[in-house]
Amino acid sequence: MMKRIALLASLLLLVVTLHACLSHAHSNSTAEALALLDWKASLLSLTSHSILPSWTISSRNAEASLCSWFGVHCKGDRVYRINLMSYGVKGTFHAFSFSSLPNLKELDLSINGLFGMIPPQINQLSNLTYLDLSYNQLSGKIPPQIGQLIHLRTLHLIQNLLNSSIPEEIGSITSTFGNLKHLRFLNLSTNSLSGSIPSEFGHMESLNELAPFKNNLSGFIPPSLGNLTDLTILQLYENKLFGLILEELGNLKLLVFLESLSTLNLSYNNLSGNITFFNELRGLVQVDIGHNKLEGPVPDVPVFQNASIQALEGNKGLCGDVSGLKPCKLSRNDHYKLFYATMFPPLGAAILSTAILALILYAKVISETNNFDSQCCIGEGGYGNVYRAELSSGDIIVVKKVHPQRADESAEQSFLIYKYLEKGSLATNLSNEEAGKELDWDKRVNIIKGFAHALSYLHHDYSPPIVHRDLTSNNILLDLEFEAHILDFGMAKLLKPDSSNWTNLTGTYGYVAPELAYTMKVTEKCDVYSFGVLIMEIIMGAHPDDLISTLPSLSLEMQLLVKDVLDQRPLPPSPDVQDQLMSVMKITFMCLAHNPHSRPTIWKHLHEYVIPFHLNLFNVSKLSFLDLAHNGSYGNILSEQCLLSTLDHLAMEHNNVKGTIPQEMEKLRSLSQFFLHENKLSGNIPSMGNLSNLVKLYLGVNERPSSITEELGMLRSPGLFGLSRNHLNGSIPRKLDGLAFLYLSSNKLSGSIPVNSECLDLSISFSCGILVSLVKS
């Protein structure tokens, strides 16, 4: 009997305990729901639809209804994530009960109309790992209590009205950020923050991105930032920072290009000093240090050598072998070094394989050529003999010993240094029957393309411009990959603005521009004429000779002319290459005009009749970021580019891309940002419903009528889609659940605008065509 009583007592205690636990859980869920409803009641809508209509509580099952609310995500019955990004709410945090959401880990309220201050009670979200309040109108100080969120990994407060109301002894950016040991991404950009960058930032040892750009920060860059050895993005531009850039930044060895416009951006400050220690930043891929007070040599690493002048200009005295910068003054000892002034134009263009005006002492090359022994001589010319030399490193070079032009040059000998190229000259390959067959049309088109880019570099990117004056098929050498290399600058001339540029008649018969015979004045148009002759030689397989003089009077159809002059040794060109050859021939006739003013510039050739870049990316299996924008290239989007399954960012805007978007685009499952605006695309927008990660799609300013497919509405990630200034017709799909911003201005759409009450925030321009009404879907 006593055992039965004891058993019943234990069961009763278990029931009571379970009931208490369930009641407590129910009470917690109800408390969370009531807290969020209180905050909802204080909000206004930036749009015409009602505020969060799904946020209602059921008296029978509060926790179940809470976890089904829009933007609310639960684990078990507790709220762990709230995501109202770009929902269109307006209000403050005054009624937000932080203490009622102790399990909240992720809070994203970006792109809304929140205003007022960030309350110090935010520290009650003690488990928070992700906080994004960007693109609102929040003002006042950043509360130091944020530093107590020790589990925080991402903090984004971009583009608010945050300012310097924190007392000076604390600093405008609170030093308590140093407690955030797990913080990886910190972006405070585009606010009005002032004061200095706290040295405590150097304690955030997990930091990958630090971006407080576009503020009013002042003072020095703290040396402690050099401790952030995992940092990949550092953006401090458009502040009021001053002082030296300290060598401690040289410890940041993992700086790589991720998603921002530049990895290391210190532009528009007042920074001073020398930056040679940046040689240590071997992982750096993009840099912008413009508009400071920096001076001295630019580091001899690719990121600086390939930087645009905009990324370096506006400084006190930077110098170096970079286009647009003054060359550094050489010390006496520097004359004993071998200088390779080899230039590498972008995107696979021909390499100018020469050390232009590279001066080295006689004693430095004499041993490499056995005192210029005749056995090492492989060629002779009016400007000097050519010798083959093997360096101690094993590299084989060609040295052209240029004859001194003046008596005062006898003490220091001039040489031109070339890379030794295995395939020999273009002339040799064209004159040989077997080599002419091997030189198929794809290779010939690639040679023309590379040659054009190299010449464009000389004329338009090098300062001062260089005219080669002796462009012939003998002066173009081919490597094992049939890439073209322009050689022999023995007669090259720098075009100086303050010089008349008069010269003696030089060059090779059959390639020299006719005006040089009577004007003796050198311009870039002299090289343009030689360029036209070379294109004809590549297409015909031999020098065009007297055909050039008959070109201005030819009235034959272009197709007939091309067919008649094509070299018959290689297999016939494919239709795609035929189209390219037609474009090339059009510009070639202009290059061969007798009047130099009628000839185009090489730059015009590249940007109006540019040959498309067919990039072989099959082996780049881990590529995540591909930017081909602003190149002026044309052609179609190759289906091969759609095999890059890891691609996250694809930018091809501002080109001359034609045709349709291939259906294979749906294979890019990782793609989140796709930019194709400002091209010449046509046809319908293909199905992209499988691109579940896509958040940004820009197709604006393209050609020909097309329509918006229903599949566009299947995209699940909230995003920004630009389709303005096309020739879109038909109606807007009724299902647009995934869209946050939709731009459809300047089209020919008709019908009604569907509006989902909880998704689309109506950022739609109304110059869409003949839309007749606004309806709710």
Model confidence pLDDT, tens digit, residues 335-345:
333 333 333 33
pLDDT band at 456 (very low <50, low <70, confident <90, very high): confident
pLDDT at position 773 over 80: no
What integer pLDDT is reported at residue 410 of this predicted model?
Answer: 43
Min mean pLDDT across 165-174, 492-501, 687-696 is at 165-174
What integer pLDDT is reported at residue 132 of this predicted model?
Answer: 93
What residues does 139 pair with on adjacent strands?
A: 117, 161
What DSSP line would sit under 21-71, residue for residue? HHHHHHHHHHHHHHHHHHHHHT-EESSSSPS-TT----SS-HHHHHTTSTT
- More confident call, 671 vs 733: 671
pLDDT band at 107 (very low <50, low <70, confident <90, very high): very high
Q: What is the mean pLDDT of the chain?
A: 70
> What is the tens place of the pLDDT at every residue in 348-397?
334 444 333 333 434 456 666 666 677 777 665 545 666 777 766 666 77
What integer pLDDT is reported at residue 61 of this predicted model?
Answer: 52
Task: Kindly report the pTM of this predicted structure.
Answer: 0.41
What does the pLDDT average to over 18-33? 59
pLDDT at position 500 over 60: no
What integer pLDDT is reported at residue 600 of this predicted model?
Answer: 80
Instruction: Confirm or deny that 253 is annotated as ligand binding.
Output: no
Percentage above 70 pLDDT, the chain: 58
Q: 625-776: same fold as 141-319?
A: yes
What integer pLDDT is reported at residue 440 of this predicted model?
Answer: 92
CATH number 1.20.1440.230 given to 141-319: no
Min mean pLDDT across 346-350, 422-426, 662-666 is at 346-350
What does the pLDDT average to over 268-290? 73
Q: What is the CA radius of gyration of the chain?
A: 34
What integer pLDDT is reported at residue 498 of this predicted model?
Answer: 44
Q: Which residues of 307-333 are buried (b: 16+ CB within 10 A; e: fewer)?
A: beeebbebbeebebbbbebeeeeeeee
What integer pLDDT is reported at residue 334 of this predicted model?
Answer: 39
pLDDT band at 736 (very low <50, low <70, confident <90, very high): low
pLDDT band at 347 (very low <50, low <70, confident <90, very high): very low
What does the pLDDT average to over 728-736? 69
Nearest to 263 by CA among 233, 288, 301: 233
Question: In this structure, which topology does domain 625-776 adopt according to CATH?
Answer: 3.80.10
pLDDT at position 749 over 90: no
d(CA 718, CA 571): 51
- More confident call, 650 vs 769: 650
What does the pLDDT average to over 4-11? 59
Residue 479 class from Cβ within 10 Å (0-12 exposed, 13-18 middle, 19+ buried)? Answer: middle
Min mean pLDDT across 195-199, 232-236, 449-453, 714-718 is at 714-718
CATH class of 440-608: mainly alpha
What residues does 476 pair with on adjacent strands?
A: 486
Residue 422 class from Cβ within 10 Å (0-12 exposed, 13-18 middle, 19+ buried)? Answer: exposed
pLDDT band at 48 (very low <50, low <70, confident <90, very high): low
pLDDT band at 266 (very low <50, low <70, confident <90, very high): confident
What integer pLDDT is reported at residue 4 of this predicted model?
Answer: 62
d(CA 80, CA 11): 34
302 DSSP assignment: H
d(CA 47, CA 87): 9
Min mean pLDDT across 227-231, 558-562, 582-586 is at 558-562
What integer pLDDT is reported at residue 408 of this predicted model?
Answer: 45
Cα–Cα distances in Å, from 735 out to 708, 709, 760, 767?
11, 10, 10, 21
What does the pLDDT average to over 218-230? 76
Return the structure tokens found at 413: 């000998």
What does the pLDDT average to over 648-652? 76
Min mean pLDDT across 55-59, 165-169, 439-443, 717-721 is at 165-169
Cα–Cα distances in Å, from 441 out to 570, 576, 651?
7, 11, 29
> What is the tens place of the pLDDT at every residue in 587-614?
788 888 888 887 887 765 554 444 444 4
Catalytic residue among 108, 132, 288, 470: 470
What residues does 635 pair with on adjacent strands?
A: 657
Return the structure tokens found at 262: 């530049």
What integer pLDDT is reported at residue 561 of this predicted model?
Answer: 57
What does the pLDDT average to over 705-711? 61
pLDDT at position 167 over 70: no
The letter for the amino acid at 737 is D
Which residue intervals of 520-626 are DSSP H helices? 524-540, 547-550, 558-565, 575-591, 602-608
The letter for the amino acid at 90 is K
> What is the tens place of the pLDDT at every residue in 130-148?
999 999 999 988 888 888 8
What integer pLDDT is reported at residue 176 of this predicted model?
Answer: 60
pLDDT band at 507 (very low <50, low <70, confident <90, very high): low
pLDDT band at 91 (very low <50, low <70, confident <90, very high): very high
Nearest to 526 by CA among 462, 459, 447: 459
Question: Would you tell me how many other CB atoms lie within 10 Å of the CB of residue 223?
Answer: 14
What does the pLDDT average to over 717-738? 62
Cα–Cα distances in Å, from 144 out to 134, 170, 179, 220?
18, 9, 11, 22
- More confident call, 669 vs 120: 120
What integer pLDDT is reported at residue 394 of this predicted model?
Answer: 67
**Is 648 marked active-site?**
no
Q: Which residues of 103-130 are buried (b: 16+ CB within 10 A; e: fewer)?
A: bbbbbbbbbbbbeebbbeebbbbeebbb
Min mean pLDDT across 116-125, 282-291, 305-314, 377-386 is at 377-386
Q: Is 481 in a helix, a strand, or coil?
A: coil
pLDDT at position 490 over 50: no
Residue 753 class from Cβ within 10 Å (0-12 exposed, 13-18 middle, 19+ buried)? Answer: buried
Top-ranked range on mean pLDDT: pick from 83-87, 109-113, 620-624: 109-113
Q: Is 215 in a helix, a strand, or coil?
A: coil
- More confident call, 17 vs 569: 569
Return the structure tokens found at 591: 């290059």
pLDDT band at 450 (very low <50, low <70, confident <90, very high): confident
- More confident call, 67 vs 459: 67
| Cis bond upstream, residue 464 (ω within 30) | yes
What does the domain layout of the chain look like in residue ranges? 141-319, 440-608, 625-776
Contact 386, 400 (CB under 8 A): yes
> What is the tens place of the pLDDT at every residue in 297-312?
888 777 787 788 888 8
d(CA 611, CA 605): 10
